[in-house]
Amino acid sequence: MKYVIGVLSEDKPGVLSRIAALIARRGYNVESLSVGHSHIEGISRFTMVVEGDERVVDQIVKQLDKLIEIVEVRNLSQAPYVERWIMLIKVSAPLEIRPHVLQTAEAFRGKAVDVGGDALVFEVTGDKGKVEAFLSAMRPFGILEVASSGAVAMQRVGFEGKVSGRCEEYELKLA
C-alpha cells in the first residue's frame, strides 16, 4: 500500500542528504520525494510517497522523527488529505494533428505552456491518477519529454487531528 508522509524540517544544509541516507540505509521504498518552503520561515516541507505495509510506514515515521532537524512528521494517509502532482509534458504535435492533441489535452484541463513548430508543452496538475491518465492519453501522439514534481500534499481542513504542535510552537518563538 502507498502512504503519503508530510515532513517539516529546519531548512539547513545536509537535511535532504540525511533523509535520503536514512531512506537508503533502511531500504525504504520511496516513490516520490519533493521539497519546498513551508508557511514558516526557516522550515521546509517534504512530501514523501512510500510503498510498504503499516509496520514499515510506522518505522519510517519514527526513524525520520529521530533526525534532530526534523520538527514534525505526519502520516497524512491516516485522514483525508489533498495531494497534487504537477507535470510538464512535451508532446509531438505536427500541424496536421495539432487540433486532436489540443482537444485531448482540453479534456484533462491540460494547459499548453509552450508552442513550437512540431511539438507542444502541456502543464497538467492533479492527483497521481489524473496525471497518469493524461500521460496515457498523450502517448499515442508521441511523448518527447516528461518532468514531474512528485506529490505535494497536506491534510484536509478539519482533519489535522491531534498535531504535535511543535511547529506552531516554533513559529510563535520566532515571532
Partner 1 sequence: MRLTGAQMIIKALEEEAVETVFGYPGGTVIPLYDALYDSKIRHVLMRHEQAVGHAADGYARVRGKPGVCFVTSGPGATNIVTPLASAYMDSIPVVVIAGQVATKVMGTDAFQEADIFGCSMSMVKHSFLVKSASEIPKAVRGAFYIATTGRPGPVLIVLPVDVQNEEGEFVYPPKLEFPGYHPERNEDLTMWGDVVEAINKAERPLLLLGGGVIHSRASAAFSSFIDEFRMPVATTLMGKGAYPEGNFLSLGMAGMHGRPAANRAILEADLVIGVGTRFSDRTTGRATRFAPNAKIIHIDVDPAEINKNIRASHFLIGDAGKIISSLHREIKARDRSTWLKDIEKFKQEELCDDDSSYITPRVLLMSLRKMVEPQQIVSTEVGQNQMWAALHWQVKFPGTFLSSGGLGTMGYGLPAAIGAAFALLDRPVLCISGDGSFLMNVQELETCVRYNLPVKLIVINNSSLGMVRQWQELFWNERYSATNEAPSRSLVEIARGFGVKGYRIERSHEISSTLQMALSQEGPTLVECIVPTKEKVFPMVPPGGGMDEMILEA
The strand order across the sheet containing 29-37 reads 29-37, 43-51, 2-10, 70-75
Which one, 55 or 157, has the nearer CB to partner 1? 55
Which one, 40 or 112, has the nearer CB to partner 1? 40
Q: How crowded is residue 137: how many other Cβ atoms within 10 Å of its Cβ?
A: 17
Least distance (Å) between residue 48 CB and partner 1: 16
Least distance (Å) between residue 35 CB and partner 1: 16
Q: What is the CA radius of gyration of the chain?
A: 19
Host H or E run for residue 32: strand 29-37
Which one, 25 or 39, has the nearer CB to partner 1? 25
Residue type, 175: A
Which one, 29 or 59, has the nearer CB to partner 1? 59
Residues binding partner 1 (CB under 8 A):
9-10, 13-14, 17-18, 21-22, 25, 43, 55, 58-59, 62-63, 65-72, 164, 166-167, 169-170, 173
In whole angstroms, give the CA distance from residue 122 to residue 34: 21
Least distance (Å) between residue 170 CB and partner 1: 4
Least distance (Å) between residue 61 CB and partner 1: 9
Least distance (Å) between residue 47 CB and partner 1: 17
Given CA atoms 63, 67, 70, 72 in this order, what sign does their dihedral have? positive
User: Are 90 and 47 within 8 A, CB to CB?
Assistant: no
